[in-house]
Amino acid sequence: MADGGGGGGGGGGGDEPEELSDKQKAEIAKWFLANAPAGEIQYVAKDVRSILGDDKIYEMAAAEAFPLHNKAHLLALEMPDRSGDVLITTYGELDKINYFDPRTAQVATVDHVKQVCTNVRPANDDELPSPYIEDFRSTLDAELSKYVGETYPKGVCAVYCVSGKDAEGPGADFEFVVVISAVKHSPQNFCNGIWQSIWNIEFKDDLQFVEIKGKIQVGAHYFEEGNVQLDAKLECKDSTIFQSPEDSAVSITNIVRHHETEYLASLEASYVNLPDTTFKDLRRKLPVTRTLFPWQNTMQFSLTRDITKEMGIGK
């Protein structure tokens, strides 16, 4: 039954949506920004700012969302002195805008919203590991850098000491975190992708044992006339014996290479089998047209073949 009370009373207009507060708008905007696909936060920011129509609310949301997004995607920023790239990670975070780069022993100041490195300074002594730990760290970093350079276009890696950095010699345990980040941004082709892996390396001196735990994440976004996202994750464990810095670096790098290569191969195999697995499960058993899909001859729907035919390639 309709309300006959008219619009003058204090309780009228019950069907009208309640206006969101500035704080609620900022939280919604923050969610969209923080969850933007890799390489696309600036595009999302432009749209969010336009929709909000309020720079104050946008800046409130951006100030919180960009740091979260940058750390989650292990963003690499070139340092002003061109000495290398600093990775935006929690492992190198000294405060909200300063990040330690272990390879160059420098601290970079970053502008999260503009996604640029604005300044760099030498690290203080208390921010650096002892010479004993640095020997292990730098040797592993050099070995991993060769692997990453050979394997991932535009790949960046860093090795952080997260525990036991003041150990002066044998007899102490310590822990490294290896971060590998590689991106492929191609917005003109409507696709962006990211590969990132984080490896916890625990050196246990009393057991002469090194425990390795890895987390690999692959993300991709295709958005030409649609919106398809991939988010694949893997966790793995391995170990090796505690050796000299050089031998430990080679052994750990080989383990990382093995697990990442194996996972990449498994992803490629799953893509090959998509027509017989995932796509088949997504389709209706009996479509509206009541015409069954010819799974035994999916090649007749080959996009590559159609494009080749249209462009006259290979004739």
Provide the CATH number for the domain around residue 190: 3.90.1150.210
In a domain, 109, yes or no: no
Same domain as 194, residue 65: no
Question: What pLDDT is attached to residue 291?
Answer: 65
In a domain, 265, yes or no: yes
**CA geometry: angle at 39 spanning 38 and 41, to 5°?**
90
Nearest-angstrom CA–CA distance, 203 and 133: 11
Same domain as 134, residue 255: yes
What contacts 261, CB < 8 A, 6 or more positions away? none
Same domain as 226, residue 153: yes
Range of the domain at 195: 129-274
Is 233 strand, coil or helix?
strand
In a domain, 195, yes or no: yes
Domain boundary among the residues 32, 57, 72 is at 72
Question: What pLDDT is attached to residue 24?
Answer: 94
Handedness of CA 250, 253, 257, 258 (dihedral sign): positive
In a domain, 92, yes or no: no
Question: What pLDDT is attached to residue 279?
Answer: 60
Q: Which of 165, 199, 200 is nearest to 181 (CA)?
A: 199
Same domain as 63, residue 180: no
Q: Which of 134, 138, 100, 103 is nearest to 120 (CA)?
A: 100
Q: Which of 105, 26, 36 is nearest to 66 (CA)?
A: 36
Question: What pLDDT is attached to residue 297?
Answer: 62
pTM (2 d.p.): 0.81
Same domain as 57, residue 179: no
Same domain as 172, residue 35: no
Number of domains making up the chain: 2
Average pLDDT of each block of 10 consecutive residues along the chain (315 residues)? 44 65 94 93 95 94 96 95 93 96 97 96 96 98 97 94 95 97 88 94 96 95 83 95 97 98 89 66 60 59 52 49
In a domain, 13, yes or no: no
